[in-house]
């Protein structure tokens, strides 16, 4: 997520190299590369090769949601619907816990789907020093 925020802040600039982003965000280079590839595969980023290569947002920050980001990086949001850890609760529909877990899953998905990257950028929390841009 920090990588997306960093790229959103620099949105109108040239592509950002993995090593620049990784250093600015204090993310291990290999891990940053892995995450950026996943975000590119999900069409949230565009990647450019070559000496002037790097990554930029593939679309406006208003069109990138936290749900899309989580799906791209770790796969679908999953809250098990069975307290026994099973995919399907054998006690359903009489199990009250599975009903709560299902509601939790649905609410979490809706919550993440309704937060765009722009909302993260407008966060009421102070920006950490990691978002300062290194002098090149």
Q: What is the CATH number of the domain that holds 33?
A: 1.10.10.10
Q: What is the mean pLDDT of residues 90-102?
A: 82
In-domain check, residue 131 = no
In-domain check, residue 134 = no
> What CA–CA distances, in Å, run from 40 to 7, 54, 56, 113, 122?
13, 11, 9, 19, 24
**What is the average pLDDT score of the chain?**
85
In-domain check, residue 98 = yes
Count the domains in the chain: 1
- What residues have CB less than 8 Å from 127, skipping those under 6 apart? none
- Whole-model pTM: value is 0.78
Q: What is the mean pLDDT of residues 98-104?
A: 84
| 84 has a pLDDT exceeding 70 | yes
| 22 has a pLDDT exceeding 50 | yes
In-domain check, residue 111 = yes
- Identify the H or E element spanning 25: helix 18-25
Q: What is the mean pLDDT of residues 59-81?
A: 90
What is the greatest pairwise CA distance in the chain?
62
In-domain check, residue 135 = no
Please report which confidence band the pLDDT of residue 136 belongs to, taking 50, 70 and 90 as the band edges: very low
Q: Which domain holds residue 7?
A: 2-124
Please report which confidence band the pLDDT of residue 128 belongs to, taking 50, 70 and 90 as the band edges: low
Backbone phi, then psi, for 93, in 5-degree steps? -95, 5
In-domain check, residue 129 = no
Q: For position 117, what pLDDT does the model report?
A: 93
């Amino acid at each position: 997520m920090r990588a997306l925020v960093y790229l959103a802040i620099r949105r109108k600039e040239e592509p950002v190299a993995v090593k620049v982003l990784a250093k600015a965000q204090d993310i291990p280079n290999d891990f940053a590369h892995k995450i950026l590839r996943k975000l590119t595969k999900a069409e949230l980023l565009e990647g450019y090769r070559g000496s002037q290569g790097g990554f930029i947002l593939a679309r406006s920050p208003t069109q990138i949601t936290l749900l899309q980001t989580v799906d791209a990086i770790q796969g679908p949001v999953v809250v098990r619907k069975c307290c026994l850890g099973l995919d399907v609760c054998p006690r359903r529909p009489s199990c009250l816990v599975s009903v709560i877990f299902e509601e939790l899953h649905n609410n979490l998905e809706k919550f993440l789907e309704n937060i765009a990257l722009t909302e993260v950028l407008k966060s009421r929390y102070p920006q950490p020093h990691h978002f300062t841009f290194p002098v090149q």
